[in-house]
Amino acid sequence: MLSGEEIKSRMGRSITIDPFDPMDLRGAAYNLRVGPFVWMHPAPQRGAPALPLVPAQTVTGRYYVIPHGACISIMTRETLHVGLEVAGLFHAKVDMATKGFSQVSTTLDPGWIGPLLITMQNISGADLTLWEGETFVKVGFYRLRHATRIPHNNRPGRLDLLHSLGFQIPPEEAGHLDEVWRNNPAVLRRRFRESAAGRALLAETRSGRRRIEGILRRVGGPALVLIAASFPAWTSAVFQLTWGTTELAIFMTTALLIAYSVIGRRPNEDEER
């Protein structure tokens, strides 16, 4: 299971979340937020449009009233993509559970791209309020030992499930799931990197890398040179090896070149991204 720091280090590469909010990153998970669409189960009678619930509007935001016993499906605000070597599990948030929401756990398959459809039920004895944009479920990420070879072919946002349940997206939002960045990993990664949160995270990552490189240059370089310089002496003492002038010159030159290539190497363009 990946820690919060590991999730952060993979952002924009094997894990991409857009929009990304560092405040939603936890020690071993990421909190997802209620998106623009919430549907109630079961769908109306066959042939009737099952549009999302209409939220109530207040000065502080919009909210949905979820009746006692009602089951709902929520589309996340975030669009996610994970590589073929990453999978995930969804878990209930404690504050949601204590209110009376029971979340149906499911998996995040390797290779997934798109928003997510999460089902919850109000098992309390009263109506509950669910605010648009509040965190309601967390996803934990796992690194697979080997990247899967099983192709991923579910539609972003599980449009197939929406259709089978009779759920519809409002006509004015009909293209929501067809936007290129919700369907193309490369476009989603570029969108993330160009966002304010993405730029800040990448700048932080580069800054940390530069600090480590600086320490290696100050400490690692001289240490490697010292080891290389003493290598002929202790190998001669321990193994009775005899070093001629030519062999010693070749060895020292090779050792210094290796030390320079390791310590003085600058990250390439792919690493910077």
* Claim to verify: residue 145 and residue 227 sit in the same structural domain: no
Q: Which of 126, 158, 188 is the last residue of a domain?
A: 188
CATH number for the domain that contains residue 97:
2.70.40.10
E-strand stretches of 20-70: 30-41, 56-58, 61-66
Half-sphere exposure of 244 (CA within 13 A, CB side): 2
* Claim to verify: residue 103 and residue 220 sit in the same structural domain: no
* Tens digit of each residue's pLDDT (9 = 90 or more) over 143-153: 999 999 887 77
**Helical packing angle, 196-215 and 185-194, nearest 10°:** 80
* Claim to verify: residue 60 and residue 183 sit in the same structural domain: yes
* Claim to verify: residue 121 and residue 211 sit in the same structural domain: no
* Tens digit of each residue's pLDDT (9 = 90 or more) over 90-127: 999 999 999 999 987 889 999 999 999 999 999 999 99
Q: How confident is the model at residue 271 (pLDDT cuts 50, 70, 90)?
A: very low
Q: Is 2 helix (H, G, I), strand (E, B) or coil?
A: coil
Q: Which of 142, 165, 188 is the last residue of a domain?
A: 188
* Claim to verify: residue 26 and residue 133 sit in the same structural domain: yes
223 vs 57: CA distance, rounded Å:
64
113 vs 184: CA distance, rounded Å:
8
* Claim to verify: residue 44 and residue 172 sit in the same structural domain: yes
Number of domains in the chain: 2
Q: Which of 139, 158, 188 is the last residue of a domain?
A: 188
Q: What angle do CA 117, 273, 196 make, to 5 degrees?
A: 60
* Claim to verify: residue 211 and residue 112 sit in the same structural domain: no
Higher pLDDT, 229 or 9: 9
* Claim to verify: residue 119 and residue 53 sit in the same structural domain: yes
pLDDT at res. 156: 76
* Claim to verify: residue 113 and residue 226 sit in the same structural domain: no
Domain span at residue 226 reads 203-272
Residue 35 has pLDDT above 50, yes or no: yes
173 vs 35: CA distance, rounded Å:
13
Closest CA to 21 of 200, 141, 183, 181: 200
* Claim to verify: residue 209 and residue 173 sit in the same structural domain: no
Q: How confident is the model at residue 76 (pLDDT cuts 50, 70, 90)?
A: very high
* Claim to verify: residue 126 and residue 25 sit in the same structural domain: yes
* Claim to verify: residue 151 and residue 259 sit in the same structural domain: no
Q: Is 189 helix (H, G, I), strand (E, B) or coil?
A: helix
The verdict on residue 180 lying in a domain is yes
Closest CA to 150 of 67, 226, 87, 204: 87
